[in-house]
Structure 1
């Protein structure tokens, strides 16, 4: 694989294991609304797609969707964003790429405020040139739009970049911009999902990803 000067990373399931904070937040919403609380294992597919869309699928009424989002964000902004861990090998990977002079950016469907809050607390957060996330009003939340915004902010061409993520949405977004993509298997997707989406490569560890990007 050729060396890409600009590397886009998804956040949840790629840089950090954020499952506890996300799942706890969703369960908090259902409990607060007096609805049966889904088991954690049934909520795992919610990690990756925009939260707004997942709530829209669960609650038909838009007023209820807005209330659910408000409840989720209130908990996430206070405690949920801390309920995560960095995947083993990620600090070394980010440090090595940054030392090589690569431009790094986070491109996530998570609300941009939350993504910035998380990255500011990580030892390698300063390695990223920018953090692009969903807008507060939800108008920018799908990966093609998020990648477009990243390209605009970094004044980059898609051919200079590679998108790295754990779900099909990351690969779909890259394909939309004719951008190379790499799927990772330590997150919330699996090999079939990533390969069917058309990932240019699939790796099993941050060390393998680093070797591929050299």
Structure 2
């Protein structure tokens, strides 16, 4: 009997907007930091754009030149660690999807711009960590907050070939980071970026629901038409 399982394939999965709906906790903690600093806080409904990219960049944009980004980050982290991170909830069906990916033989790695200590606590709290071979994220001193650098680190540390895997995420920086490392990228449309953003950034394939993700990953990794060469 022929073994049709993928050999040596792996999947890098983003956290916020891909595995979990995390905007409520992130936005609440960010607005708390701005209020505490006496700065105007945009309405919650206008802040989905801060979910995904490194938080430092978001505060730099919100505070402008001369803003105390370090103070804002400290206030954010205190609020987020006390309450905000525990407001994250898995997208419906994501647990079954992770099980399906694992059962298909793919090696799973978390790849998030969120600080790794926060990501570990969220994954453990929600019981999502058991499906993963490794969890990777940024550090509080901003190492690996650039996702392309983080992907390169994962590939190097794990001895992986970019041709054997794909990046799954909901924002353009997930797609661009994958392409910079010669990987294909699968964009999920249920997160915070949307189909247009993902398509414009060069996602090889779009996934419309968590129930389709395992099948879409399998199709993408079988495909010979994806962009494999690194881009600048």
Q: TM-score, normalization: structure 2?
A: 0.87
In the alignment, the residues of structure 1 paired with residue 157 and residue 18 of structure 2 have an alpha-carbon distance, to the nearest angstrom, of: 22
In structure 2, what is the equivalent of residue 68 of structure 1?
A: 72
Q: Which stretch of the first structure deviates more once superposed, 118-127 or 45-54?
A: 118-127
In structure 2, what is the equivalent of residue 186 of structure 1?
A: 190
Shift of 1:58: 2.0
2:141 matches 1:125:
no
Largest Rg, 1 or 2: 2
In structure 2, what is the equivalent of residue 31 of structure 1?
A: 35
SS of residue paired to 1:56: helix
* Residue 113 of structure 1, aligned match among 113, 117, 131: 117
In structure 2, what is the equivalent of residue 172 of structure 1?
A: 176
In structure 1, what is the equivalent of residue 46 of structure 2?
A: 42
Computed over aligned residues only, the root mean square deviation of the Cα atoms, in angstroms, reads 1.6
Shift of 1:140: 1.9
In structure 2, what is the equivalent of residue 144 of structure 1?
A: 148
Q: Deviations over 1:8-67 (max 9, x none)?
A: 000000000001100101110111111122101221111111001111122245671000
Q: Check the 8 A contact 1:29/1:72 in 2, yes or no.
A: yes
In the alignment, the residues of structure 2 paired with residue 18 and residue 151 of structure 1 have an alpha-carbon distance, to the nearest angstrom, of: 27
Aligned length: 213
Write out the 4+ residue segments of structure 1 that deviate beyond 4 Å after TM superposition.
none
Structure 2: gaps (5+ residues): 219-232
Distance 1:122 1:153, change over 3 A: farther
Q: Check the 8 A contact 1:56/1:62 in 2, yes or no.
A: no
| Greater relative contact order structure (CA < 8 Å, 6+ sep) | 1
SS of residue paired to 2:191: coil
* Match runs of 1:70-85 below 5 Å: 70-85=74-89
